[in-house]
Amino acid sequence: MAALKWGVICQSFAWQHLRGEAPGLEPALIGRRVSEVELHLLDLMEGREAA
């Protein structure tokens, strides 16, 4: 559940940045981490330990 929660938080930062509500580099960089969380969740669903 923690990985999913972190993914939602990253997505939230991405949307805030794209809407201009949170300008700056940090929200954009955190938003880019969504893809890492997606891969981690896929690994967990397949029963593999994610790196």
> pLDDT tens, 8-46?
999 999 999 999 999 899 999 999 999 999 999 999 999
- The torsion region of residue 24 among left (phi > 0), alpha (psi -120 to 50) and beta comes to left
| Number of domains present in the structure of the chain | 1
CB 30 within 8 A of CB 16: no
In a domain, 51, yes or no: no
**C-alpha 21, offset from chain centre:** 18
pLDDT at 49 over 80: no
pLDDT at 51 over 60: no
Q: State which amino acid sits at residue 17.
A: H
Show the domain range for 11: 2-45
N-terminal to C-terminal alpha carbon distance within the chain: 17
